[in-house]
Amino acid sequence: MADPHPKSRTFSADDARQADIVLATRRQRMIFVAGLAGIVIVVLVTALLAA
């Protein structure tokens, strides 16, 4: 029968953190901001059309 609790790996705090958004170039930052703005616009238009 397989071990239900296999040996777990240990990660340092730096390795475990996955919330870094790396936007190295101006183009990457502009695309990211445009995507966020697009989501907000879609939500607003949807809310206005639903009313």
Q: Tell which wins on pLDDT, 34 or 17.
A: 34
Separation of first and last alpha carbons in the chain: 59
Question: Alpha carbon of 30 to those of 7, 21, 25, 35, 43: distances in Å?
Answer: 43, 13, 9, 8, 20
Q: Calculate mean pLDDT across residues 32-49.
A: 96
Segment 7-15 shows an average pLDDT of 77
Instruction: Using CA atoms of 28, 30, 34, 37 in order, give the dihedral in degrees to the nearest 10.
Output: 120
**Residue 10 reports pLDDT greater than 90:** no
